[in-house]
Amino acid sequence: MPVMFSVLELMPDWLLTHGPAFLMALPLLMAAIMAVLPNKRVAWFTTFIVTSILTITAFALALYNAKVGTTIYKMGGWAPPHGISLVIDALNAPVLVLIALMSLITVVYAMPATVAEIKPNKRAPFYAAFLLCVAGLLGMVITGDAFNVFVFLEVSSISTYVLVAMGAARDRRALSAAYNYLILGSIGATFFVIGIGFLYMETGTLNMADMARILADLDGGSRVAKVAFAFIVIGLGLKLAMFPLHTWLPGAYAYAPTPVTVFLASTATKAALYLLLRFTFFVFDPSYAYVADGLLYILVGMGVIGMVFASLQAIFQTDARRMLAFSSVAQVGYMLLGIGIATTASVAAGYLHLINHAIIKGGLFIALGAMWYRFGITRTEDFQGLGKTMPLTMGAFTVLGLSLIGVPFTAGFVSKVNLASAAADAGWWWAVGIIMLTSILALVYIGRVLLLAYFQSPPQVNGETVIRNEAPIMMLIPMWVCALASVFIGVKSDAVVGASIRAAELLLGAG
Amino acid sequence: MNEFFLITEHFSILKQINPGFWVILAGLICTLLPIGHARKAFVIAAPIFAGLLIFQLYDVNSTEHLGGVLQFGPVELTTLRIDELSVVWGYLFCLAGVINGIFALHEKCRITDSSALVYTGAAIAGVLAGDMVTLFVMWELTAISSVFLIWKGGDHAYAAGIRYLAIHVLSGVMLLAGAVLHAQANGGDFMFNDIGLDSPGGWLMLLAMGIKVGFPGLHMWMQDAYPKASITGTVILASFTTKFAVYALARGFAGADILIWIGAIMTCFPVFFAVVENDLRRVLAFSLNNQLGFMVCGIGIGTSLALNGVVGQVFVHVIFKGLLFMSIGAVMYRTGTAKASELGGLFRSMPFTTVACLIGAGSIAAFPMLAAFVTKAMILAAAVEEHLYIPFLMMLFASAGVMEHSGIKVPHFTFFAHDSGRRVKEAPWNMLLAMGIASFLCFYLAWPWGGYQNLYALMPYPMEYAYKPYTWDHVVFQMQLLFAAIFAFTLLKRFKLYPAERRAEILDADWMYRRMGLNVAIWGSAMWDRLSVHTSRIRTRTLSNVGRRLYQTFSPAGAASEATPSGLAAVLTAGLLFVVLMLGYFAR
Amino acid sequence: MSVETKLPLETDVVTKQMDDIHPVSRYFLFLGKDSVKRNFMWLPLAGMIICIILGIFHPQKHPLPYEQYIPGSWAIWGFVAYSLIVLSANTLFKLLGRDESYYGEGGLPDPDYSTDPMVTGEAHHE
Q: What is the pLDDT of residue B562?
A: 63
pLDDT of C23 > 90? The answer is no
**Residues from chain B contacting residue C32 (CB–CB below 8 Å):** 345, 347-348, 416, 419
| Distance of alpha carbon B569 from alpha carbon B43, whole angstroms | 74
CA-CA-CA-CA dihedral for A412, A413, A419, A425, to nearest 10: 180
Residue in chain B lying closest to C125 (CA): B419
Residue in chain B lying closest to A488 (CA): B73
pLDDT single digits (tens) B295-320? 999 999 988 889 999 999 999 999 99
Residues in chain B: 588
Residue in chain C lying closest to B394 (CA): C81
How would residue C3 be classed by pLDDT, with cut points 50, 70 and 90? Answer: very low
Among C88, C91, C115, C118, the residue to mutate for chain B (most B Cβ within 10 A): C115
Distance from CA of C3 to the nearest CA of B (A): 13
User: From the list B273, B337, B505, which residue is nearest C100 (CB)?
Assistant: B505
| Distance of alpha carbon A53 from alpha carbon A22, whole angstroms | 10
Query: Which subunits sit against A, judged by 3+ Cβ pairs under 8 A?
Result: B
User: From the list A226, A238, A491, which residue is nearest B73 (CB)?
Assistant: A491
Q: What is the pLDDT of residue A229?
A: 92
Contact state of B505 with C90 under an 8 Å Cβ cutoff: no
A173 close to A256: Cβ distance less than 8 angstroms: no
Q: What is the pLDDT of residue A155?
A: 93
Distance from CA of C32 to the nearest CA of B (A): 7
Calculate the alpha carbon distances from B20 to B113, B126, B131, B311 in Å.
16, 8, 15, 20
| Max CA distance (Å), chain C | 65
Most confident of A26-30, B13-17, B550-554, C6-10: A26-30
pLDDT of C1 > 60? The answer is no
Contact state of C45 with B504 under an 8 Å Cβ cutoff: no
Contact status of B28 with chain C (Cβ, < 8 Å): no
Contact state of B73 with A184 under an 8 Å Cβ cutoff: no
Residue in chain C lying closest to B507 (CA): C96
How would residue C10 be classed by pLDDT, with cut points 50, 70 and 90? Answer: very low
Contact state of B576 with A244 under an 8 Å Cβ cutoff: yes
Contact status of C98 with chain B (Cβ, < 8 Å): yes
C-alpha closest to that of A146 among A91, A80, A65: A80
Contact state of B473 with C58 under an 8 Å Cβ cutoff: yes
| Distance of alpha carbon B96 from alpha carbon B444, whole angstroms | 16
Query: Which subunits sit against B, judged by 3+ Cβ pairs under 8 A?
Result: A, C
Among B566, B568, B578, B585, the residue to mutate for chain A (most A Cβ within 10 A): B566
C73 assigned to some structural domain: yes
Q: Which of B8-17, B81-90, B97-106, B164-173 has the lowest mean pLDDT?
A: B8-17
Domain ranges (residues) in chain B: 254-505, 508-536
pLDDT of B466 > 80? The answer is no
Residue in chain C lying closest to B401 (CA): C82
Distance from CA of A221 to the nearest CA of B (A): 12
Q: What is the pLDDT of residue B314?
A: 92
**Residues from chain C contacting residue B488 (CB–CB below 8 Å):** 78-79, 82-83, 86
- The more confidently predicted of residues C63 and B234 is B234
pLDDT single digits (tens) C31-67? 878 888 888 888 989 998 998 888 888 888 877 777 7
How would residue C87 be classed by pLDDT, with cut points 50, 70 and 90? Answer: confident
Distance from CA of C52 to the nearest CA of B (A): 6
- The more confidently predicted of residues B558 and A490 is A490
C70 assigned to some structural domain: yes
Q: What is the pLDDT of residue B297?
A: 93
| Distance of alpha carbon A285 from alpha carbon A218, whole angstroms | 12
- The more confidently predicted of residues B51 and A40 is B51
Residues 6+ apart with CB under 8 A from B313: B291, B294, B295, B298, B372, B375, B376, B378, B379
CA-CA-CA-CA dihedral for B532, B537, B539, B543, to nearest 10: 150
Share of chain C above pLDDT 70, in %: 69
**Residues from chain B contacting residue A318 (CB–CB below 8 Å):** 556
Among C56, C103, C114, C118, the residue to mutate for chain B (most B Cβ within 10 A): C103
**Residues from chain B contacting residue A290 (CB–CB below 8 Å):** 583-584, 587
Q: What is the pLDDT of residue C11?
A: 44
C126 assigned to some structural domain: no
Residue in chain B lying closest to C74 (CA): B481
How would residue B3 be classed by pLDDT, with cut points 50, 70 and 90? Answer: low
**pTM flag (> 0.90):** no
Q: Which of residues 113-132 of B touch A (CB under 8 A)?
A: none
How would residue C12 be classed by pLDDT, with cut points 50, 70 and 90? Answer: very low
Domain ranges (residues) in chain A: 301-511
| Distance of alpha carbon B509 from alpha carbon A131, whole angstroms | 75
Distance from CA of A343 to the nearest CA of B (A): 19
Contact state of B504 with C100 under an 8 Å Cβ cutoff: yes
Q: Is B194 helix (H, G, I), strand (E, B) or coil?
A: coil
Q: What is the pLDDT of residue A511?
A: 40
Residue B78 phi/psi, 5-degree rounding, is -115, 95
pLDDT of C22 > 60? The answer is yes
> In 10 A of CB C4, how many CB atoms?
7
Which helix or strand (DSSP H or E) is residue B78 part of?
Answer: strand B75-83
**Residues from chain B contacting residue C85 (CB–CB below 8 Å):** 271-272, 275, 400-401, 404
Count of domains observed in chain C: 1
Task: Flag whether C touches A (3+ CB pairs, 8 A cutoff).
Answer: no
Contact state of B488 with C52 under an 8 Å Cβ cutoff: no
What is the count of residue pairs from B and C with beta carbons less than 8 Å apart? 232
Q: Give the residue-averaged pLDDT of B396-416.
A: 89
B123 close to B244: Cβ distance less than 8 angstroms: yes
User: From the list B553, B566, B581, which residue is nearest A180 (CB)?
Assistant: B566
Q: Could you tell me the end-to-end alpha-carbon distance of chain A, in angstroms, rounded to an integer?
A: 22
Q: Which of residues 558-577 of B touch A (CB under 8 A)?
A: 558, 560-561, 563-564, 566, 569-570, 572-573, 576-577
Residue in chain A lying closest to B555 (CA): A316
What is the domain range of residue C72?
2-120
Q: Which of A431-440, B174-183, B420-429, C18-27 has the lowest mean pLDDT?
A: C18-27
Could you say which residues of chain A have pLDDT below 70? 1-3, 510-511
- Side-chain half-sphere exposure of B533, counting CA atoms within 13 A: 5
Average pLDDT in chain B: 86
Contact status of B341 with chain C (Cβ, < 8 Å): yes
C92 assigned to some structural domain: yes
Contact state of C118 with B341 under an 8 Å Cβ cutoff: yes
Q: What is the pLDDT of residue A404?
A: 92
Contact state of C93 with B502 under an 8 Å Cβ cutoff: yes
Task: Flag whether A touches B (3+ CB pairs, 8 A cutoff).
Answer: yes
| Distance of alpha carbon B513 from alpha carbon B583, whole angstroms | 60
Calculate the alpha carbon distances from B19 to A241, B67, B423 in Å.
56, 11, 45
Residue in chain A lying closest to B564 (CA): A247
Contact status of B9 with chain C (Cβ, < 8 Å): no
B17 φψ region: left (φ > 0), alpha (ψ -120 to 50), beta (else): beta
Q: Which of residues 247-286 of B touch C (CB under 8 A)?
A: 271-273, 275-276
Q: Give the residue-averaged pLDDT of B516-525.
A: 85
Dihedral angle sign, alpha carbons of residues A260, A263, A265, A270: negative
pLDDT of C4 > 50? The answer is no
Most confident of B214-223, B312-321, B414-423, C94-103: B312-321
Contact state of B484 with C60 under an 8 Å Cβ cutoff: no
Contact state of A187 with B570 under an 8 Å Cβ cutoff: yes
Contact status of B588 with chain A (Cβ, < 8 Å): yes
User: From the list B561, B583, B585, which residue is nearest A313 (CB)?
Assistant: B561
Contact status of C70 with chain B (Cβ, < 8 Å): no
